[in-house]
């Protein structure tokens, strides 16, 4: 079956959706346009400003952004004036506006006619997410809902509407993620000839995804967040995957894969859908799939239920972990994710105080001035660690692995016989998780963590929120508001952790006067973490992308406690800054010079270019979008 060509762009920008009032999430696409590279926001974040810990601890609650979101006529007019932006604004020629109930109702009718059992839920406009599933009747805790049959699930085994395209993809052993991304585009291009036309028509034309953020937006809005590096890496991976497919497959079968259908813009859309909606089904051997209807469920950090295959009924279900009244929105969990991870995969930031999994990542390093530097580094390497390691911080405290690493950093030479034991504890690879009892080092270790927090200093001045609070904003500006809210929440986490460290030190007999002095003096240094424009905006067709395992973020594990396995450009840049702060001058001919000053640390963005890791991978603050 030949592909129908995609409809040409009309040049008419889609009207930005009017968000529901009283949102419990701060969310939005980076731009109303999809491929524009120029940035024309009314929002321009100020330069990074250092903040002392005492200012963090007294952050006024009124800083929370509660800005009205409305389209700017000036912004829309400016966008319409540029042909490139007009073409980009059209996006893909399929899908719908995110808040569309008409397309959702058509989807429900098609699903019912195709075998979906009678539902106790209905699609409606909701406060949390533009669309969501609400209860039609009283629902008790422990009830199973949905029962979506496998015949209505899209997986790597689904039948292709254009068999020739499917045969080529399978013949080339394309992995599940790029296979499903191509499948979505293929079915969408067939329009009503595709069995999935009603489902695709109900998908958002432009998902709330960081894949639509431009490089200037990433640099400007996420400069203060560790998520920036992961966002850049993810965009790089998607671009690289598309380039691999184009060079290895599409260019050799141009009759089946016309460029007007299979291009970077359509792959940005399809990967945005996968990042936000793909789920892993534990009872089906961990198979990843798109589950129509179920992906209209929104996320709540207050619930723990997730989708899975129910063998007894032969359908995809979830079991409620609370009761619901008629008209009340029903939620599932997308996984125990921080606000940054939710923004990265689903395009939204939960309301402050609602996400118990909020965390920020902190990069720590050995001190090169340490007389035992080489011995400690060898102990770390034997346990899969390096000179630089990243650890997550939560409002409830810090992981035991970070404390173990801190013990190793401050251990004196006379404790060299314990280096291996401490490195094992820092690696999180010991099944017994041995406890470390070094009371004589505890205060020094806590001070090391506190110094790390001061040095990281990744948070911009949140007081500028007052300047932006009442400005009319375009879709591009929504990126700034989301980034600011994420940044503010990360600031709160860092502040609370710092407060816990100070309290722990005081409780252990630390000199309070010294602590106050250190607190007042710390945090004035800045770290240049800028990157070259070419570092991550270009994906190349190399051997790594198609072979890349994109599945690593779609599981039922809590990734907050996982340390990054790879290093991205942000980390490399920050390490260079750390070495500079330590007095280390690196030369291409001589290599790193020996350091004779105190160690330093900086924050890092966890790396990866994987797709969503969650019990439920869903779009924006809801499965729906």
CA–CA separation, 411 and 530 (whole Å): 33
At 554 the pLDDT is: 56
Number of neighbouring beta carbons within 10 Å of residue 223: 17
| 255 close to 164: Cβ distance less than 8 angstroms | no
Strand, coil or helix: 573: helix
What is the model's pLDDT at position 440?
A: 81
Give the CA angle between residues 441, 383, 454 to the nearest 5°: 45
Helix, strand, or coil (residue 145): strand
- Predicted pLDDT of residue 508: 56
- pLDDT reported for residue 411: 94
Question: Could you tell me which residues come within 8 angstroms of residue 325 by beta carbon, excluding any fewer than 6 positions away?
Answer: 135, 138
Q: Is the pTM of this model over 0.85?
A: no
pLDDT of residue 286: 81
Q: What are phi and psi of 17, to 5 degrees?
A: -65, 145
**Helix (H) or strand (E) run with residue 170 in it:** helix 163-171
Burial of 390 (C-beta count, 10 Å sphere; 0-12/13-18/19+): buried
| Residue 206 neighbours by CB under 8 Å, 6+ apart | 14, 29, 32, 34, 91, 92, 95, 98, 212, 269, 272
Q: How many residues does the chain have?
A: 625
pLDDT tens sequence across 298-340: 999 889 999 999 988 999 999 999 999 999 999 999 988 888 8
- Distance from C-alpha of 592 to C-alpha of 589, rounded to nearest angstrom: 9
Q: Which residues of 586-620 are buried (b: 16+ CB within 10 A; e: fewer)?
A: eeeeeeeeebeeebbbbbbbbbbbbbbbbbbbbbb
CA distances from 162 to 65, 155, 159, 186 (A): 48, 16, 9, 7
292-304 per-position pLDDT tens digit: 999 999 999 889 9
Structure tokens at 442: 């505890």
- Judge contact between 374 and 339, C-beta under 8 A: no
What CA–CA distance (Å, rounded) separates 180 from 170?
Answer: 11
114-128: burial string, b at 16+ Cβ within 10 Å, e else: eebeebbbebeebbb
The sign of the torsion formed by the CA atoms of 184, 189, 195, 197 equals positive
Find, among 227, 216, 220, 187, the residue nearest to 203 by Cα: 187
Q: How many CA atoms lie within 13 A of 337 on its CB side?
A: 30
414: its two tokens: 């006379």
The three state secondary structure string of 501-558 is: HHHHHHHCCCCHHHHHHHHHHCCCCCCCCCCCCCCCCCCCCCHHHHHCCHHHHCCCCC
Structural domains of the chain, with CATH: 359-592 (3.90.1420.10)
Q: What is the DSSP letter of 602?
A: B
Q: Is 180 in contact with 154 (CB distance < 8 Å)?
A: yes
Q: Pairing between strand 359-365 and 315-319?
A: unpaired
With a cut of 70, list the residues of the chain below it in pLDDT.
1-90, 129, 224, 429-435, 454-625
Q: Are 29 and 478 in contact (CB under 8 A)?
A: yes
Q: Which residues contact 75 (CB under 8 A, 6 or more apart)?
A: 40, 42, 474, 476, 477
């Amino acid at each position: 079956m030949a592909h129908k060509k995609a409809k040409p762009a009309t040049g008419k920008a889609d009207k930005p959706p009017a968000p529901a009032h009283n949102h419990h999430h701060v969310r939005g696409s980076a731009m109303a346009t999809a491929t524009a590279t120029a940035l024309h926001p009314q929002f321009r974040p100020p330069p990074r400003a250092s903040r002392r810990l005492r200012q963090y601890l007294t952050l006024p609650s009124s800083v929370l952004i509660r800005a009205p979101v409305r389209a700017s006529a000036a912004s829309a007019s400016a966008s319409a004036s540029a042909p490139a932006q007009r073409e980009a604004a059209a996006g893909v020629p399929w899908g719908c506006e995110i808040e569309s109930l008409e397309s959702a109702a058509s989807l429900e009718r098609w699903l019912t006619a195709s075998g979906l059992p009678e539902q106790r839920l209905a699609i409606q406009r909701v406060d949390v997410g533009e669309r969501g599933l609400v209860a039609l009747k009283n629902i008790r805790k422990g009830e199973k809902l949905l029962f979506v049959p496998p015949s209505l699930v899209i997986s790597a085994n689904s039948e292709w509407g254009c068999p020739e395209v499917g045969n080529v993809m399978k013949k080339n052993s394309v992995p599940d993620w790029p296979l499903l991304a191509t499948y979505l585009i293929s079915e969408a291009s067939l329009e009503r000839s595709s069995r999935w036309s009603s489902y695709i028509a109900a998908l958002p034309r432009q998902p709330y995804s960081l894949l639509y953020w431009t490089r200037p937006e990433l640099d400007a809005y996420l400069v203060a967040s560790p998520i920036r590096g992961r966002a850049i890496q993810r965009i790089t991976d998607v671009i690289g995957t598309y380039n691999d497919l184009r060079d290895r497959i599409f260019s050799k079968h141009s009759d089946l894969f016309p460029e007007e259908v299979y291009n970077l813009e359509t792959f940005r859309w399809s990967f945005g859908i996968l990042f936000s909606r793909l789920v892993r089904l534990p009872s089906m051997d961990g198979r990843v799939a798109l589950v129509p209807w179920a992906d209209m469920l929104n996320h709540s950090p207050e619930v723990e239920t997730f989708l899975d295959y129910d063998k007894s009924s032969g359908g995809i279900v979830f079991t409620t972990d609370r009761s619901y009244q008629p008209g009340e929105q029903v939620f599932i969990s997308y996984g125990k994710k921080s606000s940054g991870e939710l923004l990265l995969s689903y395009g939204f930031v939960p309301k402050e105080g609602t996400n118990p999994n909020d965390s920020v990542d902190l990069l720590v390093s050995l001190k090169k001035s340490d007389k035992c530097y080489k011995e400690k580094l060898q102990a770390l390497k034997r346990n899969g660690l390096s000179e630089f390691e990243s650890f997550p911080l939560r409002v409830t405290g810090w992981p035991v692995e970070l404390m173990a690493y801190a013990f190793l950093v401050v251990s004196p030479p006379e404790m060299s016989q314990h280096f291996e034991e401490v490195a094992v504890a820092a690696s999180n690879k010991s099944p017994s998780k041995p406890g470390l009892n070094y009371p004589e080092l505890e205060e020094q270790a806590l001070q090391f963590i506190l110094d790390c927090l001061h040095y990281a200093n990744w948070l911009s001045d949140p007081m500028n929120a007052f300047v932006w609070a009442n400005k009319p904003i375009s879709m591009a500006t929504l990126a700034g508001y989301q980034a600011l809210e994420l940044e503010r929440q990360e600031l709160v986490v860092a502040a609370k952790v710092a407060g816990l460290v100070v309290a722990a030190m005081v409780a252990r007999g630390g000199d309070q006067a010294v602590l106050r002095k250190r607190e007042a003096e710390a945090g004035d240094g800045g770290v240049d973490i800028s990157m070259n424009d070419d570092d991550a905006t270009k994906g190349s067709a190399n051997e790594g992308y198609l072979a890349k395992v994109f599945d690593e973020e779609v599981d039922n594990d809590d990734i907050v406690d996982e340390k990054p396995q790879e290093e991205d450009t942000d980390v490399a840049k920050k390490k260079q800054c750390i070495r500079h702060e330590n007095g280390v001058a690196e030369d291409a001919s001589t290599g790193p010079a020996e350091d004779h000053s105190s160690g330093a640390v900086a924050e890092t963005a966890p790396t990866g270019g994987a797709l969503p890791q969650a019990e439920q991978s869903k779009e924006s603050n809801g499965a729906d979008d």
